[in-house]
Amino acid sequence: MTVRPITALLLSAALACTACQRTASPPADDAATASPAPPTTPRPANDTPAGQRIEADVAALADDAMQGRGTGTPGYERAALYVADRYADIGLQPAGDDGGWLQSVPLLQATVLAEGARLEIERDGRVTALALGEQFLPGVDFNRGESAVEAPAVFVGQAVHAPGLGHDDFAGLDLRGKVAVMFGGAPGTFDDTRRAFHSSQREKLRNVVERGAVGAVFVNTVDDEARYPWSRAVEAMGRPAMRLRDRDGRGIGTWPQLQATAVVSAATADALFEGSGHTAAQLFDAAREGRLRGFDLRGSVRLASRSRIAPVESSNVVGRIAGSDPAVAGEYVVYTAHLDHLGSGGGEDGEAVYSGALDNALGVAIMLEAARELTQGPAPRRPLLFVALTAEEQGLLGAEWFARHPSVDGRLVANINLDMPMLTAPTTDVVPVGVAHSTLDAVLEQAAAEIGVALSPDPFPEEVVFVRSDQYAFVRAGIPAIYLMGGVVGANPDQDPMLAMTWFLRNCYHQPCDNLELPIQYGDAARMARLNARIGQLVGDAAQRPAWKPGDFFGGKFGSGGER
Ligand SMILES: [Zn+2]
């Protein structure tokens, strides 16, 4: 699951949503907050063959030998070969490049360097230099090793342009040749879907670049930092960021017009607003209440940073089950689960391994089991693809590449994604995300009824998880998608799945303790494999391929061939 806060993902064009960080919000004194050990979750018996196969795959992929499956590392390559071997065992056909299992994904990596990073504000001949780390972090630049800009600054609120909702943060402002200073997120008056879309950093940067800005500064709000502390952003500063790479070696979805970028901590925000007649506290309140207005800032901003940029190669792993009906042989139903995770290094001793057992060894293992089940029955009319994706944690990059450049001839008609099933307490249900946007909702209802699993509403709709994993790369390419999360209704009164989930998100999400020690419920995992297999079978056999619901936001935005 990708949840890079705006600070860590600064200037990544991928979806970065400060408003949608996936942190459940129980009371601060909740047992989940401080507990160093999971809540009472005894390791369950794993007594079904399907559960045992899934466990074996999770154990292999989350093993130290895979070194956290970091994109572009030997550990990831080993994991990719493991998945290819499993595809062959299961009886899939290779469907990557040139008749092999792998589809190569060209990437560009950039790491921001501390040396030479600057953010200064000049006002009335007086220069205020912010302290690196403590007060600001430089943004990574995929287009130049040394970045610098000096320009007048303008505050553009949350940089949201939503004429359909009667909202324009840019009304009356001139950004040409200026540094755009902005908050993340989107007005709370927007519905969850629109708020998710307008919260994405990609949209904000696109907006300010279209209006002529030459630099960008994101300002954290206190609410942002309640969800993701500044200290964690500081820790993440040296981590490399990635983009897809085009034929000319340039990053796709980067913004060369922006000469330099940075993020400023909430505690430092007043340094930018001084003399404007507004305080940071007032603006934080206004953002919360959806009544933020932009204005010119006094003085000018100087930004500078250095980045180390290098090409990186990685691969998606692609297998196929041929369809049975030549009339729909070109209509692929695509299963996806990201294989990459955060790699290794860092931590207290610099040797931490980010095993990513739930995120997303488990999702890949469930996809493998669903594939195995689908090879056992009659082939559906449409062909099925199984894609273990790279670079999800870097911003859904493997998915974006596959959705735009499939390694098969034909069109992709549906995506069934698996990411970070938080199955650490037994449940009777699953939580579908995003299905209401398309006719996949009816398919899901049928499949769930047949398998005997209940469907529960998303407990955190405001977190808009639908735009935060690989399915969103398919949605952006106009392809209806379905994504199932683990359930929230306990099968055992002593084990509360919500508490287990909250504990995991607080303590182990994107941490070394997302590992094989977790009490993974392999029985629930096997049920999730059956359900996902059934969904694929039904979509594969359906008379019509899935379609967006009339008037749906994503259908309207991306439905006819994807985004501009
Ligand atoms: Zn993740």
4 Cα: distance to centroid of ligand 1 (angstroms):
9
483 Cα: distance to centroid of ligand 1 (angstroms):
15
131 Cα: distance to centroid of ligand 1 (angstroms):
30
Q: What is the pLDDT of residue 339?
A: 98
123 Cα: distance to centroid of ligand 1 (angstroms):
42
67 Cα: distance to centroid of ligand 1 (angstroms):
15
387 Cα: distance to centroid of ligand 1 (angstroms):
17
Q: What is the pLDDT of residue 3?
A: 53
3 Cα: distance to centroid of ligand 1 (angstroms):
7
273 Cα: distance to centroid of ligand 1 (angstroms):
35
117 Cα: distance to centroid of ligand 1 (angstroms):
28
Q: What is the pLDDT of residue 312?
A: 96
- Give the helix ranges, DSSP H, for 452-521: 471-476, 497-507
342 Cβ contact partners less than 8 Å away, ≥ 6 residues apart = 68, 70, 354, 356, 393, 510
Q: What is the pLDDT of residue 25?
A: 34
pLDDT of 359-406, one tens digit each?
999 999 999 999 999 999 999 999 999 999 999 999 999 999 999 999
Q: Could you give the CA distance from residue 35 to residue 41 in angstroms, rounded to a whole number?
A: 13
Low-confidence ranges of the chain (pLDDT < 70): 1-42, 347-348, 561-564
Q: Could you give the CA distance from residue 370 to residue 53 in angstroms, rounded to a whole number?
A: 11
539 Cβ contact partners less than 8 Å away, ≥ 6 residues apart = 333, 380, 382, 413, 414, 416, 440, 443, 545, 546
Q: What is the pLDDT of residue 169?
A: 95
407 Cα: distance to centroid of ligand 1 (angstroms):
25
Q: What is the pLDDT of residue 27?
A: 32
Q: What is the pLDDT of residue 228?
A: 85
Q: What is the pLDDT of residue 562?
A: 58
Q: What is the pLDDT of residue 464?
A: 74
2 Cα: distance to centroid of ligand 1 (angstroms):
5
Q: What is the pLDDT of residue 345?
A: 86
CA angle 228, 232, 233 (to 5 degrees): 85
